[in-house]
A and B are shown apart, each in its own frame.
Chain A
Amino acid sequence: MKINIEGVNKSFGAKKAVDNVSMSIEEGTMHGLLGSNGAGKTTFMKVMAGIYRPEAGEVLYGGEAVFENTRVKSDVIFIQDVPYFFSSATLEKMAVFYKGLYANWSERRFHQLVGHFNLDPDQPLNALSKGMKRQASFILAMSARPKVMLLDEPFDGLDPIMRNQVKNIMMQDIANHNMTVIASSHNLREMEDLCDSVSIMHNGEILFNRDLNEIKGTHCKLQIAFKMLPDENFYKDIGAVHKNLRGRVATCIIKGDLTAVERKVTKYDPLMYDILPLTLEEIFTYEMGEKGYEISNIIVE
């Protein structure tokens, strides 16, 4: 289900929590929504989940607005940063509740997932640890077989093994059922391996929204050492958009035709060089720096 977000605004009194956000997320992809605490990610996610009504703009799933639209909402599941369960509810009771509300609920998948995560379906959920609650919420959400899953800080509280299991199951649904996932996080490295596209939110605005594969095909990192550092013409020549010098070692981010980089570099007779793909953090450092933001001020981890 393709998601189109068109000029969404959401304010809390005078403070704009979401400021004129527009983006498009393709079906069957995973989108990472990054930003520090207070950036507006959760508010934006709640607007996307149809919990909050936007003051302006629309969130469209397959062309239909989500707010007060049960047809859309039955295909969209939102998992909060702190999963909610009714008081004294067990996983089994919550499953009955979900089953009554989500048309695509799969009992078979529910039991499979309960077995896989080894949770007791009759144990009161509020007595579980934070990580186990998150597993339970994930089981419920996946069993409802949504077309879109909205995850607010999805891996918080999960141990590394569980993280991988959750990621694997999610990826299977993305691959096999074209499920679309939007996950908010302040953890860049976590998103790097999962997401097809990412956006950065800061003060309610989307500062950056890109397809990662596209970036990786047009950007690379060059680490190069010289007997004597070259002049500025070198950096212009190789298309460096950002450079960092340490002694006689230069680290550059290069944008453009990556196939010609090696040829141009060797002309300057370096002692050694290495061409590496960019990490997410490096992409942001470059992109955000261009817009006058220091990435460290926006994303903590």
Chain B
Amino acid sequence: MKSPTLLWNSTLLRHFTVQTFWITVLYMMMSLIVLPLSLWIFSLSMTDASYLYDAAVFENLASVHLVFGMIYAAGLGLFSMNFKNQESVSDFIHSLPVKRVTVLTSVFIIGISSIIISTGLIAAILMVERFALAFELAALDVLSWLVYSIAVMVTVFIITVFTGFFTNHLFIHLQLVIIIFFLPLALWAAATSTASTMFDGISLFQGVMDDDLLTPVVENTFPIFAVMQIYEPISWMKWVIWAGVALLAFILSYILYARRQNEYVNLNFTYHPVRLILSVLIVIVGMLILGNVVGLIFAAGNIVRVIAFIFAWFVSFILVEMFFQSTVKIRFKVRRFLISAGSAVVFMAVFYAGWNMYSNYVPPVDEVEAVMVDAAEAGIFSGYVPQNDIMSENFLMMDDPAYISDVTQAHQYAADNKVPRHSLEEYRIFEVTYRMKDGSMVHRSFDHYPEGEEAESLLTELNTAGQTRAQDLIYNIEDDRDLVQLSLMASGGSALLIEDGREMERFISEYKEGSQKTADAGTELNRFASEHIINAELEFSNGRFNEWIYGKVLLYHPAVLSRISEEQDISEFISLAGAEEVYAYEIGPDDEFYEDYRRLPFEELALKYDLEALGEDGRTEVMDAVDDGALNAGSGRVIIYTNLNYYPYEGTDDIEADAAEYTHFIVGVE
């Protein structure tokens, strides 16, 4: 016990246990409420329908618990290390006949064993409680939760202890813990969101394949990553990295403590350069956020925006100094002021040049392998690319070189003719995602695609039969082994479900065979049908639970029509049977009917093309033809009928909301 060679000391262990006892009690109380008690209450109030969700209940509660657990671990680190924050305690502890290595080892032993014992006790309660629950809670799940929670909390604890060596102030230590975990995210989020309001073309959230600008940083922010991992398969690679970080922090803690100079206990920060760097970075974050908000509020032009950033920088600088000096009566240091100001100027210069280059970049055609476009204005909706083994990698992506070239031209036009972003009105979204030949992804998202004839014609070029195929959910199924169910759903509410594996396989095979022909028959009618009348849904198992993917499907495909007619009348499925009014029209060779259908309100469309509602006989004739399978995307004769599910937007003058495309369905009939 009193040997100088020992790494720990029982007296110090007792001391640190007493120091952190009540915070451990608090954590245990919270854990008891969040896990055993909540599970018990859920079990008591469970209805039969709730059985569907029991797998998620434990995960959801575990994620809430983990948030408390991380706060507890940080609290343990903060209060264990508080002995070095006051001169009297620091002097007392360091005058005792114990080495620093012994003091720190005692801190680690007590912190880690408090985490293990308290969480272990909760796990023991859960192990007993699971026999009394109305739903199944596997012992392995509890053990996995225990090991995982301890790993996360120990990581947070070690990093908190390490952070403590950079300050001699409890409140600043708390700030540093928050900073070390969240500063990269805050800086990147502030930089990208500010950039996205200053430059059009930057994709913050609409990126695909989990590869947008923000997601990688969000997912690698430890507390967020730790909670997300409860719902996902363990990412061993990331855990190895975080374990390495924790190990490094653990080792560095000993090195920093050995080098610690107790005489500077009254300084808020132990290392001046660290303080300076953190201060500069946080001031920049504050400048970006506040400057951006002020710029947005005043819908500012460039000069006002610059003034807003200067103002925001100054306010942030003062606030950070208040926090770092732990007083509102700050000591103003000219050198610190100048360094911070200079850094902000350099940052903004790099920021502006970098994002300008980023938003102007259009990849060379010969480096692009495939491309995906979302252009609402041109009626091209691609949506979100799901990450699974079911769909082929070309789902939603076009690899036709001519198409890629058309996309880069439209993209170049958008980049060269950017609309000033002084306000967020008048959205005309154009998003493009390139899969490059080197495997990387390039995303650009324009909220304000330029108007004008050239812009329109470039977009129109992108609406092709190939695009229809690329977006087809069933056509792009790569591996159907994990499929649980395939559904064809009509906007009127009808649904056809295929659950039998062999039947699904047969349907998919038939569908793929005939897709080319159907898609080529008529791009416009196929697109209108798949956007407004029918869509498909795939339910599949990811090994742990079921997931769903939604997407487009060709209404006019013979396999689809045959499948519908086996179950119900096609006219009923496509909501033609109950339509209030039905119109027929023969499209002429020079007609811009589809374009007008997409843009004009139905009244104007009817007036322009002299549409008249069919009488009872005409409707019966059309419905009979449809039920006999006469739907044809290549037909020049179209039937337009009322969309009973359309509810007009209220309080808006948006002409798009009332366009015929939304108020009326259109199908081609032979």
Chain A complexes with chain B: yes
Q: Counting CB contacts under 8 A, is B418 at the interface?
A: no
Q: Which of B90, B97, B98: most chain A CB closer than 10 A?
A: B97
B100 and chain A: residue at smallest CB distance? A68
Of the candidates A46, A71, A82, A96, the one whose C-beta lies within 8 Å of that of B4 is: A71
Q: Counting CB contacts under 8 A, is A4 at the interface?
A: no
Contact with A along B229-271 (1 / 0, CB 8 A): 0000000000000000000000000000000011110000000
* Contact assessment for A100 and B9 in the assembled complex, using a CB-CB cutoff below 8 Å: yes
Q: Counting CB contacts under 8 A, is B89 at the interface?
A: yes
Contact with B along A42-56 (1 / 0, CB 8 A): 010010011111000
Residues in B with CB closer than 8 Å to A10 are 263
Residues in B with CB closer than 8 Å to A100 are 1-2, 9-11, 14
Of residues 1 through 52 on chain A, the ones whose CB sits less than 8 Å from some CB of chain B are: 10, 12, 17, 43, 46, 49-52
| Cα distance, A102 to B95, chains bound together (Å) | 12
Q: Counting CB contacts under 8 A, is A186 at the interface?
A: no
* Contact assessment for A46 and B91 in the assembled complex, using a CB-CB cutoff below 8 Å: yes
* Contact assessment for B9 and A101 in the assembled complex, using a CB-CB cutoff below 8 Å: yes
Q: Counting CB contacts under 8 A, is B88 at the interface?
A: yes
| Cα distance, A101 to B6, chains bound together (Å) | 13
Of residues 98 through 119 on chain B, the ones whose CB sits less than 8 Å from some CB of chain A are: 98-100
A47 and chain B: residue at smallest CB distance? B263
Q: Counting CB contacts under 8 A, is B637 at the interface?
A: no
| Cα distance, A53 to B94, chains bound together (Å) | 11
| Cα distance, A49 to B91, chains bound together (Å) | 9
Q: Counting CB contacts under 8 A, is A234 at the interface?
A: no
Residues in A with CB closer than 8 Å to B11 are 96-97, 100-101
Of residues 53 through 85 on chain A, the ones whose CB sits less than 8 Å from some CB of chain B are: 53, 68-74, 77-78, 80, 82, 84
Q: Counting CB contacts under 8 A, is A103 at the interface?
A: yes
* Contact assessment for A46 and B2 in the assembled complex, using a CB-CB cutoff below 8 Å: no
Q: Which of A12, A51, A102: most chain B CB closer than 10 A?
A: A51
Contact with A along B28-72 (1 / 0, CB 8 A): 000000000000000000000000000000000000000000000
| Cα distance, A43 to B87, chains bound together (Å) | 12
CB distance from A16 to the nearest CB of B (A): 12
Residues in A with CB closer than 8 Å to B89 are 84
| Known A71-B4, A100-B9; contact A53-B261, beta-carbon cutoff 8 A | yes
| Cα distance, A50 to B264, chains bound together (Å) | 15
Of the candidates B15, B95, B99, B100, the one whose C-beta lies within 8 Å of that of A78 is: B95
Of the candidates B2, B100, B263, the one whose C-beta lies within 8 Å of that of A43 is: B263
| Cα distance, A74 to B262, chains bound together (Å) | 20
| Known A80-B88, A101-B2; contact A74-B10, beta-carbon cutoff 8 A | no
* Contact assessment for A80 and B91 in the assembled complex, using a CB-CB cutoff below 8 Å: yes
| Known A82-B88, A84-B89, A100-B1; contact A49-B97, beta-carbon cutoff 8 A | no
Residues in B with CB closer than 8 Å to A82 are 88
* Contact assessment for B97 and A84 in the assembled complex, using a CB-CB cutoff below 8 Å: no
| Cα distance, A82 to B100, chains bound together (Å) | 23
Residues in A with CB closer than 8 Å to B91 are 46, 49, 51, 78, 80, 84
* Contact assessment for B88 and A12 in the assembled complex, using a CB-CB cutoff below 8 Å: no
| Cα distance, A50 to B96, chains bound together (Å) | 9
| Cα distance, A46 to B99, chains bound together (Å) | 16
Q: Counting CB contacts under 8 A, is B171 at the interface?
A: no
Q: Counting CB contacts under 8 A, is B92 at the interface?
A: yes
CB distance from B395 to the nearest CB of A (A): 64
* Contact assessment for B100 and A101 in the assembled complex, using a CB-CB cutoff below 8 Å: no
Of the candidates B2, B88, B95, B99, the one whose C-beta lies within 8 Å of that of A49 is: B95
* Contact assessment for B96 and A73 in the assembled complex, using a CB-CB cutoff below 8 Å: yes
CB distance from B10 to the nearest CB of A (A): 6
| Known A80-B91, A84-B89; contact A101-B96, beta-carbon cutoff 8 A | yes
* Contact assessment for A70 and B95 in the assembled complex, using a CB-CB cutoff below 8 Å: no
Of the candidates A50, A72, A86, the one whose C-beta lies within 8 Å of that of B15 is: A86
| Known A84-B89, A86-B15, A100-B9; contact A70-B97, beta-carbon cutoff 8 A | yes
| Cα distance, A96 to B14, chains bound together (Å) | 10
| Known A97-B11, A101-B2; contact A52-B262, beta-carbon cutoff 8 A | yes
Q: Which of B2, B14, B15, B91: most chain A CB closer than 10 A?
A: B91
| Cα distance, A97 to B96, chains bound together (Å) | 11
* Contact assessment for B263 and A80 in the assembled complex, using a CB-CB cutoff below 8 Å: no
CB distance from B99 to the nearest CB of A (A): 5
Chain B interface category by residue count: 20 to 34
* Contact assessment for B94 and A70 in the assembled complex, using a CB-CB cutoff below 8 Å: no
* Contact assessment for A84 and B92 in the assembled complex, using a CB-CB cutoff below 8 Å: yes
* Contact assessment for A73 and B92 in the assembled complex, using a CB-CB cutoff below 8 Å: no
| Known A52-B262, A101-B2, A103-B2; contact A73-B14, beta-carbon cutoff 8 A | no
Residues in B with CB closer than 8 Å to A96 are 11
CB distance from B605 to the nearest CB of A (A): 81
B13 and chain A: residue at smallest CB distance? A100
CB distance from A123 to the nearest CB of B (A): 18
* Contact assessment for A74 and B95 in the assembled complex, using a CB-CB cutoff below 8 Å: no
Of the candidates A68, A97, A102, the one whose C-beta lies within 8 Å of that of B99 is: A68
B89 and chain A: residue at smallest CB distance? A84
Residues in A with CB closer than 8 Å to B261 are 52-53
B91 and chain A: residue at smallest CB distance? A51
Of the candidates A69, A70, A80, the one whose C-beta lies within 8 Å of that of B92 is: A80
| Cα distance, A2 to B90, chains bound together (Å) | 27
* Contact assessment for A12 and B263 in the assembled complex, using a CB-CB cutoff below 8 Å: yes
* Contact assessment for B99 and A70 in the assembled complex, using a CB-CB cutoff below 8 Å: yes
* Contact assessment for B263 and A73 in the assembled complex, using a CB-CB cutoff below 8 Å: no
Residues in A with CB closer than 8 Å to B4 are 69-71
| Cα distance, A10 to B98, chains bound together (Å) | 22
CB distance from B136 to the nearest CB of A (A): 47
CB distance from A85 to the nearest CB of B (A): 9
CB distance from B186 to the nearest CB of A (A): 32
CB distance from B261 to the nearest CB of A (A): 7
Residues in B with CB closer than 8 Å to A52 are 261-263
| Cα distance, A51 to B4, chains bound together (Å) | 17
* Contact assessment for A51 and B262 in the assembled complex, using a CB-CB cutoff below 8 Å: yes
* Contact assessment for A70 and B263 in the assembled complex, using a CB-CB cutoff below 8 Å: no
| Cα distance, A100 to B95, chains bound together (Å) | 14
CB distance from B3 to the nearest CB of A (A): 8
CB distance from A246 to the nearest CB of B (A): 47
| Cα distance, A68 to B254, chains bound together (Å) | 14
* Contact assessment for B262 and A101 in the assembled complex, using a CB-CB cutoff below 8 Å: no
CB distance from A41 to the nearest CB of B (A): 14
| Cα distance, A17 to B263, chains bound together (Å) | 11
B264 and chain A: residue at smallest CB distance? A12
* Contact assessment for B97 and A51 in the assembled complex, using a CB-CB cutoff below 8 Å: no
Contact with A along B587-616 (1 / 0, CB 8 A): 000000000000000000000000000000
| Cα distance, A266 to B100, chains bound together (Å) | 66
| Cα distance, A46 to B95, chains bound together (Å) | 8
Residues in A with CB closer than 8 Å to B2 are 74, 100-101, 103
Residues of A within 8 A of B (CB): 10, 12, 17, 43, 46, 49-53, 68-74, 77-78, 80, 82, 84, 86, 96-97, 100-103
Using A52-B261, A84-B88, A100-B10 as known contacts, list a sample of 9 further A-B pairs with CB atoms less than 8 Å apart, ordered by residue number in A. A12-B263, A53-B261, A68-B99, A68-B100, A72-B97, A73-B98, A84-B91, A100-B14, A101-B11
**Could you list 11 examples of A-B contacts with CB < 8 Å?**
A46-B262, A50-B95, A51-B94, A52-B262, A52-B263, A73-B95, A73-B98, A74-B97, A80-B91, A84-B91, A100-B14
Per CB-CB distance, the 4 closest pairs between chain A and chain B, nearest first, are A100-B11, A70-B4, A74-B97, A73-B97
